[in-house]
Amino acid sequence: MEKLKVIVGLGSCGIAAGAGKVFDKISLLQDKYQVELDKTSCIGMCYREPLVEIIDGTHSYLYGGVDEELAEKLIQHHQKNHAPIKEYVVKTEEFKTEDSVFTDNQVKIALRHCGFINPEVIEEYENDHGYVALRKIANKEIDELGIIKEILDSGLRGRGGGGFPTGLKWKFAKESENEEKYIICNADEGDPGAFMDRSILEGDPHAVIEGMIIGAYTMGANEGVIYCRAEYPLAIKRLNIALAQAREKGYLGKNILGIENFNLNIYVKEGAGAFVCGEETALIASVEGERGMPRKRPPFPAASGLWKKPTNINNVETFSNIPWIIENGAKEYAKYGTEKSKGTKVFALTGKIKRGGLVEVPMGMTIHDIVFKLGGGIQDNKKFKAVQLGGPSGGCIPANLDNTIVDYDSVNATGAIMGSGGMVVMDESTCMVDMARFFLDFTQKESCGKCTFCRVGTKRMLEILTRITEGEGVEGDIEKLEELSYQIKDASLCGLGQTAPNPVLTTIKYFRHEYEAHIKDKKCPAGNCTKLLTYEVIPEKCTGCTLCAINCPTNAIDGTKKEIHFIRQDACINCGTCVVKCNFDAIKVY
C-alpha cells in the first residue's frame, strides 16, 4: 500500500496556532498508518492555521483548522477511502473551495516556495529551480553588466519601503573602485506588524541567500551580512541551516561554482529589533557594534557604508525576487504591475478582516480587491472604514479611496507609503484619533533620540493625541499637530522621523471630523475612547442581578436585588467593568 504523504505547515504562525502539536501527533501515528511525514512553512493562509497537506497518490489536499483529533481523522479517512473530507479542504486542484478566491488572485514570485518546500532541505529548493540563476552566471550565460541590465529592465524597486530602483543601487555599488565591499540583507525591517520578511526567511531562506550571492558577484562584494531581529528565532535557525548547506554545496566560500576569484562569506547578525534599524545607516552602525542611530548622508552606503567600505543594502523581499528575474528574464517580471511599479508586492493583511494572512499580488491591484476579494471583506459584516498602509510610519487611506491601486506613486499620493507591506484593515468601530495615537506611541518609543525634532516633537504630539482621546482636547490642538508634523518631517535626519507623523496627518486629512468631535463635543464617534463614553442601564433589560453594582470599583451603581439599577454619572469613571460583568446586555454605551 502506497504511503500517504502528510506535510504540516510549521511557520511561526502555524506553530502559534498549534501546528507543532499536530506534527508531534502525526509523528506518533506514522507507523500505524504508514504515513510519510514532512514539514513546510507558512503558505499565507494564517486565518486557517494549522494547515496540513495530504498527498494521496496523484491528488493533493490542503486542510485548514487541523487539530490533533482531526489530523488522525483525516489520515484514517484517506487510508480507507482515498478521497478528501471536503468540508475541511481549503485548497486543491480537484475543486473550488470558499478559500479559492484567496489563492486564485495572487501571483507568487517572492513567495514562490513558501509553503511548498521543506525550507531545511536544500535539495527541495534545488529541485524547484533553486540556484539555477547562479549556475547561469557560473556557465557565463550572463555577466555583471548583464545582471544589472536585467534588474533595471525588470523595473524592480526596493521592497523595503523607499522604492529606489534596485538595478541602479547595484550599479552604484559596482562602480565604486574600492576592492573591499559588503552586501547586507535587511531582515529586521523594523515593522513588527509586517511579518512577510520573517515568513520568507522561515519558508525560503535559500532564495534570499541566492539573491545575495548574485548581488555580491555583480558588485564585487566578498562578505555578506543578514541582519535579522533576534525576536525571529525560527528564521535565524533556518537561515543558519541554509547557510551551512550552501557552503557544503559550494554556493558559498572560495571560487564559488568554479568562478575564479569569486569568494563570498555570509553570516547572520542578530539585532535587537529596534525600529530605527530599518534605516540603512542605523543598521550599519548596529552591525559595527554601535548603538543603532542614523548617520548623515552623503556619503551614502554605496560609497561609504559598513566599516566605511562600499555597501549595498536590500531587504528580504527584494533579494528573493532576484533569482527569479535572472532565471526568467526582465520581461517576464515586468509584465506584472504598472508603468512605474513593476512586479508583485507582498502584504501582511491584518486587522478587521475575514481572511488575514500573507498575500502577494501584482502591482496595480486595487485596495478594494485586496480587502474584499482576497481578504473576504470585513469581520461581522461591519462597514469598511480605512486601511493603514506602510507600517507604524504609514498613513491611512479611507474607504472612499479604496479604488486606489497599489503602486508606489498612487499610494504616496494619498499621504500613505508602501512601506515594507503592512496593511491593517479598519472598520467603523475603529477610532482614527486613537489609531493615530497608537502608532505614534510606537514610533515615539522607537526614536533613537538623535534628532531633537523627532525625539521631542513626537513626544509633544503624543501628549496632545492622548489628551484628545481622554476628553481633554482644546481648540487649536489639530493645528498644533499639523505644525509639529511638518516640522518633524522637514527636520528629522532619517526616515523614522520623516515619516512618523504620517498616521496623524492622514487621519486629520480624511477624518478631521473625528478630531473635532473629540475636542468640541467630547464624544468618540466610533465609541472606542473609554473616557469619552457614557454608560447607562437599559431598564427593560435589567434583572436586578446586582453583578454590575458589586463589581463597580467606584460604587457608582445604585439599586437593590431584583430592582432596576442606575449609574450615577458623577461617580462613573468609564472603566467598562459593568459591561463586562452584565449577563443580559443591559448596559448601553454611547
* pLDDT > 90 fraction of the chain, expressed in percent and rounded: 86
Separation between Cα atoms, residue 157 and residue 376, nearest integer Å: 29
Average pLDDT for 382-393 = 92
Q: Is the dihedral of CA 583, 585, 587, 590 positive or negative?
A: positive
Computed over every residue of the chain, the mean pLDDT equals: 94
Separation between Cα atoms, residue 19 and residue 24, nearest integer Å: 9
H-run or E-run covering 139: none
| Grid cell 516633537 in the structure block, residue | 457
Per-residue pLDDT, 496 = 87
Per-residue pLDDT, 277 = 86
Under a CB-based contact definition with an 8 Å cutoff, are residues 498 and 485 in contact? no
Q: What are the E-state strand segments in 77-217?
A: 89-91, 182-187
H-run or E-run covering 227: strand 223-229
Q: 356: which 3 cell numbers?
A: 488575514
Q: How many CB atoms lie within 10 A of CB 531?
A: 13
Residue 55 makes CB contacts below 8 A (sequence gap 6+) with 4, 5, 6, 7
Architecture of the structural domain at 534-589: 2-Layer Sandwich (3.30)
Separation between Cα atoms, residue 442 and residue 447, nearest integer Å: 9
Q: Is the per-residue pLDDT at 101 higher than 80?
A: yes
Domain at 122-333: CATH code: 3.40.50.11540
Q: Is the per-residue pLDDT at 74 higher than 70?
A: yes
Per-residue pLDDT, 87 = 96
Per-residue pLDDT, 502 = 95
How confident is the model over 475-519, as pLDDT tens digits? 999 999 999 999 999 999 988 899 999 999 999 999 999 999 999
Separation between Cα atoms, residue 58 and residue 56, nearest integer Å: 6
Per-residue pLDDT, 530 = 87
Per-residue pLDDT, 1 = 55
Per-residue pLDDT, 189 = 59
Per-residue pLDDT, 190 = 54
How confident is the model over 517-551, as pLDDT tens digits? 999 999 999 988 988 999 999 999 999 999 999 99
Identify any residues that bridge with 388 across adjacent strands, giving them in sequence order.
396, 424
Question: Sorting pLDDT into bands at 50, 70 and 90, what band is 7?
Answer: very high
- Nearest-5° Cα angle at 416, 360 to 317: 30
Average pLDDT for 63-75 = 96
Burial zone of 28 (CB within 10 Å; 0-12 exposed, 13-18 middle, 19+ buried): exposed
Average pLDDT for 66-76 = 96
Per-residue pLDDT, 107 = 96
Class of 432-521 per CATH?
Answer: mainly alpha
Under a CB-based contact definition with an 8 Å cutoff, are residues 203 and 346 in contact? no
Separation between Cα atoms, residue 402 and residue 363, nearest integer Å: 15
Separation between Cα atoms, residue 65 and residue 311, nearest integer Å: 45
Under a CB-based contact definition with an 8 Å cutoff, are residues 499 and 447 in contact? no
Question: Sorting pLDDT into bands at 50, 70 and 90, what band is 392?
Answer: confident
Separation between Cα atoms, residue 292 and residue 285, nearest integer Å: 5
How confident is the model over 21-43, as pLDDT tens digits? 999 999 999 888 889 999 999 89
Q: What are the E-state strand segments in 288-439?
A: 311-315, 344-351, 357-362, 384-389, 395-398, 422-427
Residue from 178, 148, 185 nearest 165 by CA: 148
Separation between Cα atoms, residue 354 and residue 394, nearest integer Å: 22
Domain 4-98 maps to which CATH number in 3.40.630.30, 3.40.718.10, 3.40.30.10, 3.40.640.10? 3.40.30.10
Per-residue pLDDT, 192 = 44
Q: How many CB atoms lie within 10 A of CB 562?
A: 10
Per-residue pLDDT, 41 = 96
Per-residue pLDDT, 191 = 53
How confident is the model over 214-268, as pLDDT tens digits? 999 999 999 999 999 888 999 999 999 999 999 999 999 999 999 999 999 999 9
| First vs last C-alpha separation in the chain | 65
Domain 344-427 matching CATH 3.30.43.10: the answer reads: no
Separation between Cα atoms, residue 51 and residue 320, nearest integer Å: 24
The ranges assigned to domains in the chain are: 4-98, 122-333, 344-427, 432-521, 534-589
Question: Sorting pLDDT into bands at 50, 70 and 90, what band is 271?
Answer: confident
Q: Is the per-residue pLDDT at 193 higher than 50?
A: no
